[in-house]
Amino acid sequence: MNALNTERPTVPSTALPPVLQVQGLSKRFHPSLPPVVDQVSFAVGPSEVFALLGPSGCGKTTTLRLIAGFERANQGQVWIAGREVTRCPVEQRGIGFVFQDYALFPHLSVYDNVAFGLRHLRGRARKERVEEVLGLVGLTVFKDRKPGELSGGQQQRVALARAIAPGPKVVLLDEPFSSLDAALRQATRDEVRALLKQAGIGAVLVTHDQEEALSFADRLAVMRAGRLEQIGTPEEVYHRPRTPFVAQFLGRTNLIPGEAKGLEAETPLGRIALVEEAHGPVLLSLRPEGLGLAAPLKHLPQLEATVLTREFKGHDLTYRVRLGERELLVQESPESPFRPGERVRLVVRARAVVVGRNK
């Protein structure tokens, strides 16, 4: 399973050369401990937004810090804008970095924070650039304030403005939205994405929030225990997970064993269709929205299940049902009438994805 990340292309779909390329990056903090980052490779195209998604402790932040140069890699290379920078100190890499807690300089005004990285510019040019960037993030009127006098969303925009002001080819964002409250998060996310696209900067976002990764990124990589399990567009990764971990991490799913025979498989749910051809014992992923419930039929007793719980969420409805020894999640429309304890029949509405091969 671990070799799966090499099966897919690690380069972006655009034809232009990547602004960031990472090859075989590995980092070990202690010789006796397993590597925190293990043979990670990917590339980010110009003005592409790339997300590194994974649970906490999977090594995604360390990967970002290796790219920035805050940590030194034990193995592997990093190229930024076509130049190998693996041995370069941070300040010579030409990256922008947005920290989780923003790390704004508390003793400097908003204006001076943004101007901090513009040492190569003097006088007029410097002022114009600061004001241009502040205008871009819509903070011109706050330019004389200290960071402590701004709201969380405003601080976040100053941090972004400071990072993009020197004109980096790639910006690295370390969980930049996690300290914002939920109401502000979506709006800020959209703004930042629009900004990055407008400025034509490549971006790597680190997050543990799968919804954020799916909606923010052009492509994403799912990381687990230091390795990339899968790289692809949000749709690919969601609809065609390659491993059980990816399937489960990107939203809820049902993992079902089966015996594949070409484009179909025999499973405890009966014979179901597969997205792609496979043979032999397999593990399948079927999302809750790929299942439905109906009134039981006399002649199909083997698909009869019992409703365990019913979770009404307004726009939809999730059931937990038991089929034999197995519990399954089923997503239904909000009008679905079944109650806990009732007998129901399972209906398979979508094709299953092979996420692993059982021995």
Partner 1 sequence: MVSRLSKPIPKGLLAVALLIGLAVLLPMLYLVLRAAQAEPSQLAEIVLRPRNLYLLGNTLALLAGVIVLSTLLALPLAWITSRTNLRGKRLWTVLLVLPLAVPGYVGVFGFFGATGSGGWLEMLLGFPWPRPTGYLGALGVLTLFTYPYLFLNLRAALLGLDSSLEESARSLGYRGFEVFLRVVLPQLRPALYAGWLLIGLHVLGDFGVVSLVRYETFSYAIYLQYAASFDRVYAAWLSLMLILLTGSLLWLEARLLKNLTLSRVGLGSARRPSPVPLGAWSLPAYALMVLLVVGALLVPLTSIVYWLNQPAYPLELSSIKEALQNSAQAAAPAALLAALLALPLAYLGVRYPSSLSRLLERAAYLGYATPPLAFALALIFFSLRALPFLYQSLALLVLAYALHFLAEAIGPIRSALYQAPPRLEEAARSLGYRPLQAFLKATFPLLRRGILASMALVFLSAVKELPLTFLLAPAGYSTLSTRIWGYTAEAMFAEAAPYALLIVLFSAGLVGLLLTQERR
Give just the sign of the alpha carbon dihedral 124, 126, 135, 107: negative
- CB-nearer residue toward partner 1: 161 or 354: 161
Tokens of 218: 């052009």
- CB-nearer residue toward partner 1: 162 or 240: 162
- CB-nearer residue toward partner 1: 107 or 271: 107
What CA–CA distance (Å, rounded) separates 290 from 350? 5
In single-letter form, the type of residue at position 93 comes to R
Least distance to partner 1 from the beta carbon of 100, Å?
8
- CB-nearer residue toward partner 1: 11 or 103: 103
CB atoms within 10 A of CB 346: 21
Give exposure, 107-136, as e/b (b: 16+ Cβ within 10 Å): eebbbebbbebbeebeeeeeeebbeebbeb
**Cα 208 to the center of its chain, rounded Å:** 7
Tokens of 199: 């400025």
- CB-nearer residue toward partner 1: 136 or 347: 136
Q: DSSP string of 116-140?
A: TT-TT--HHHHHHHHHHHHHHTT-G
- CB-nearer residue toward partner 1: 101 or 311: 101
Least distance to partner 1 from the beta carbon of 114, Å?
10
Least distance to partner 1 from the beta carbon of 204, Å?
13
Q: How far apart are the first and last CA of the chain?
A: 13
- CB-nearer residue toward partner 1: 117 or 232: 117
- CB-nearer residue toward partner 1: 133 or 231: 133
Least distance to partner 1 from the beta carbon of 88, Å?
11
Least distance to partner 1 from the beta carbon of 116, Å?
6
Q: Which residues pair with 123 in a beta bridge?
A: none
Question: Half-sphere exposure of 334 toward its Cβ, with a 13 Å CA cutoff?
Answer: 5
**Cα 129 to the center of its chain, rounded Å:** 32
CB atoms within 10 A of CB 73: 23
From the list 114, 115, 126, 118, the residue with the least C-alpha distance to 154 is 114
What CA–CA distance (Å, rounded) separates 233 from 24? 21
Least distance to partner 1 from the beta carbon of 172, Å?
8
Least distance to partner 1 from the beta carbon of 70, Å?
5
What CA–CA distance (Å, rounded) separates 162 from 117? 7
Least distance to partner 1 from the beta carbon of 78, Å?
14
Least distance to partner 1 from the beta carbon of 95, Å?
6
Find the angle CA(236)-CA(239)-CA(241) to the nearest 5 degrees.
80
Residues forming contacts to partner 1 in the complex (CB under 8 A) are: 29-30, 33, 36, 62, 68-71, 89-93, 95-97, 99, 101, 103-107, 116-117, 119, 162-163, 166
Residue 321 backbone class (left: φ over 0; alpha: ψ -120 to 50; beta: rest)? beta
- CB-nearer residue toward partner 1: 69 or 292: 69
